[in-house]
Amino acid sequence: MVRGKTPQKILEVICMLNDRTTEISHLETKLGELQKDMALLHSSQDEVNKNIKQMEHKLKDLNSDRRIIDHKLHTSTRASQAGVYQLQKLRIEQRQFEKKQEIKRLKSEQPTFLQCVEQLLLDKQSEQDKRLNFPVEQKTDAKKIMNQLRKLEEQDFVQRNGYTETFHVYNNFKMAYDERLGEIVEASIAGIERDGISAMFAQMATDLLKNRHIQTHLR
């Protein structure tokens, strides 16, 4: 018995209640479907989480591979840059070497300083032979003078005679000739042809023969 309520009131409450069987059944069905959906979603979630973990491991491996590749690429880039620099350096050195060899080859085809001196003496001797003979005139004996000058070219000259002033003067003339000839040859490689080369070196030979130390050596 319900306290506080009369039988009349109880009947009124009972009359207000409806049959909920259909709603219960419908809701139970809907809840069952939701449970199935949730089970499928949980399964999908588990599969996705599994795939995520697999992808995370794969991503970790890929990141590791990327770091290795980046390091190798950095090393290769530096090696390539160094190789390019070295190649450029070698090419420059090769061009310089080839130029030096070409200068050396062309210089070897030119008269030596002694040949310039000898030609000057022969020309002078030939001119004297064509002129009237004056017994008191100093004659040019090209062969004798050249024999004396060639002694300065002997390898043991300094060892036998010491570093004389005569040798010093002759060596300076010879080096000056070699340096000037090198400049002329190098200019010719660049397409610059000089005029008056024979006259210039003939003057150098004349200056040598006029040097007092050389004249003392020739007497």
Per-residue pLDDT tens listing for the chain (219 residues)? 445 567 666 666 555 667 889 888 999 999 999 999 999 999 999 999 999 999 999 999 999 999 999 999 999 999 999 999 999 999 999 999 999 999 999 999 999 999 999 999 999 888 888 877 777 677 788 899 999 999 998 888 888 888 899 999 999 999 999 999 999 999 998 888 888 999 999 999 999 999 999 999 888
In a domain, 19, yes or no: no
Q: Report DSSP state, residue 193.
A: -
Domain count, the chain: 2
180 near 194, Cβ under 8 Å? no
In a domain, 133, yes or no: no
- For residues 146 and 60, membership in a common domain is answered with no
- For residues 71 and 155, membership in a common domain is answered with no
Separation CA 109–CA 103 (nearest Å): 10
Q: Which domain holds residue 176?
A: 110-127+140-218
CA distances from 171 to 116, 180, 182 (A): 15, 14, 16
Separation CA 76–CA 91 (nearest Å): 22
- For residues 85 and 171, membership in a common domain is answered with no
- For residues 71 and 154, membership in a common domain is answered with no
- For residues 121 and 88, membership in a common domain is answered with no
Burial 145-163 (b: 16+ CB within 10 A, else e): bbeebeebeeeebeeeeee
- For residues 114 and 213, membership in a common domain is answered with yes
